[in-house]
Amino acid sequence: MSETDDSLKWGRSTVDTVCPLDCPDTCSLEITVETGKIISIGASDNNPATNGYICGKVRRFDERVYGDARVTQPLVRTGPRDSGHWETATWDKALGTIAKRMQDIRREWGGEAILPFSYGGSNGLLSQDTADARLFRQFGTARLARNVCSIPTTTASQALYGQMPSVTYEDYRQAKLIVVWGANPSSSGIHLLPHIKAAQESGAALVVIDPRRTNLARRADLHLPLRPGTDVAVALSVHRYLFEHGLADEQFLNTHTHGADRLRERAQEWTIDHAATVAQLDPELLENFAEMYADLSPAVIRCGWGLERNRNGESAAFAVLALPAVAGKFGVRGGGYSMSNTGAWSLSTESWIGIPEPNTRLVNMNKLGRALLEYQDPPIQMLFVYNCNPVATMPNQNLVLKGLAREDLFTVVFDQVMTDTARLADIVLPATTFLESYDVVQSYGLTNLQLARPVIETVGEARPNVEVFEALATKLDLEIQSDDTSDVQALLQLTNALPDEARQELMDTGFAAGIADGRPVQFRDVFPRTPERKACLFPEDLEQKSSVGLYRYQPEPENNDHPLTLISPATEKTICSTLGELRSRVARLHMHPEDAEHRGLSTGDSVRIFNALGEVHCLVSLNSDMQRGTVGLPKGLWRMSTLNGSTANALVSDEVTDIGGGATFNDTRVQVARVVTVSFTQEQPPASG
Ligand X SMILES: Nc1nc2c(c(=O)[nH]1)N[C@H]1C(S)=C(S)[C@@H](COP(=O)(O)OP(=O)(O)OC[C@H]3O[C@@H](n4cnc5c(=O)[nH]c(N)nc54)[C@H](O)[C@@H]3O)O[C@H]1N2
In the complex, the residues that contact ligand X under the rule CB under 6 A are: 22-23, 119-122, 127, 148-150, 181-184, 187-189, 209-212, 214, 226, 228-229, 231, 304-307, 309-310, 386-390, 392-393, 414-417, 419, 431, 465, 567-570, 572, 574-578, 635-636, 648-649, 652, 665-666
Are 608 and 616 in contact by the 8 Å Cβ rule? The answer is: yes
Please report how close the Cβ of residue 281 comes to ligand SF4 at its closest, in angstroms. Answer: 32
19 binds ligand SF4 (CB under 6 A): yes
Please report how close the Cβ of residue 49 comes to ligand SF4 at its closest, in angstroms. Answer: 9
Residue closer to ligand SF4 (CB basis): 21 or 180: 21
Short-list 7, 23, 65, 16, CA closest to 42: 16
340 binds ligand SF4 (CB under 6 A): no
Which of residues 4, 17, 26, 565 is near ligand SF4 by CB under 6 A? Answer: 26
CA distance 7 to 459: 17
The one-letter amino acid code at 246 reads G
Residue closer to ligand X (CB basis): 510 or 636: 636
58 binds ligand SF4 (CB under 6 A): yes
451 binds ligand SF4 (CB under 6 A): no
Please report how close the Cβ of residue 341 comes to ligand SF4 at its closest, in angstroms. Answer: 14
Please report how close the Cβ of residue 644 comes to ligand X at its closest, in angstroms. Answer: 16
Residue 190 interacts with, from ligand X, ligand SF4, Mo ion, none (CB under 5-8 Å by kind): ligand SF4
Short-list 157, 167, 159, CA closest to 524: 167
Which of residues 31, 55, 142, 149 is near Mo ion by CB under 5 A? Answer: 149
Are 157 and 662 in contact by the 8 Å Cβ rule? The answer is: no
CA distance 514 to 391: 36
Please report how close the Cβ of residue 580 comes to ligand X at its closest, in angstroms. Answer: 7
CA distance 524 to 410: 53
Kindly write out the interface string for residues 574-593 of this chain, putting x where it contacts ligand SF4 by CB under 6 A and - elsewhere: -x------------------
Short-list 2, 4, 71, 59, CA closest to 30: 59
Residue closer to Mo ion (CB basis): 242 or 575: 575
The residue sitting closest to ligand X, measured at its beta carbon, is 306
Torsional class of 61: left (φ above 0), alpha (ψ -120 to 50), beta (otherwise): alpha
Residue closer to ligand X (CB basis): 46 or 310: 310
Residue closer to ligand SF4 (CB basis): 54 or 144: 54
CA of 424: how far to CAs of 350, 403, 407, in Å? 33, 10, 10
Q: Who contacts 508 (Cβ-Cβ below 8 Å, separation ≥6)?
A: none
CA distance 578 to 636: 7
Residue closer to Mo ion (CB basis): 149 or 440: 149
Residue closer to Mo ion (CB basis): 163 or 458: 163
Handedness of CA 490, 491, 492, 493 (dihedral sign): positive
Residue closer to ligand X (CB basis): 217 or 521: 217
Which DSSP state fits 426? S
Q: Who contacts 683 (Cβ-Cβ below 8 Å, separation ≥6)?
A: none
Which of residues 1, 21, 133, 272 is near ligand SF4 by CB under 6 A? Answer: 21
Q: What is the dihedral of CA 300, 306, 309, 312, to 10 degrees?
A: -50
Phi and psi at 680, nearest 5°, equal -105, 140
Please report how close the Cβ of residue 26 comes to ligand SF4 at its closest, in angstroms. Answer: 5
Please report how close the Cβ of residue 578 comes to ligand SF4 at its closest, in angstroms. Answer: 9
Applying CB under 5 A, which part among 27-35, 146-154, 168-176, 500-508 lies near Mo ion? Answer: 146-154
536 binds Mo ion (CB under 5 A): no
CA end-to-end span of the chain:
50
CA distance 402 to 411: 13
DSSP E strand boundaries for 238-364 = 257-258, 299-303, 336-338, 362-364
Please report how close the Cβ of residue 150 comes to Mo ion at its closest, in angstroms. Answer: 6
Short-list 648, 639, 580, CA closest to 615: 648
Residue closer to ligand X (CB basis): 99 or 332: 99
Residue 142 interacts with, from Mo ion, ligand X, ligand SF4, none (CB under 5-8 Å by kind): none
Residue closer to ligand X (CB basis): 327 or 418: 418
Binding site for Mo ion (CB under 5 A): 149
Binding site for ligand SF4 (CB under 6 A): 19, 21, 23, 25-27, 54-55, 57-58, 190, 575
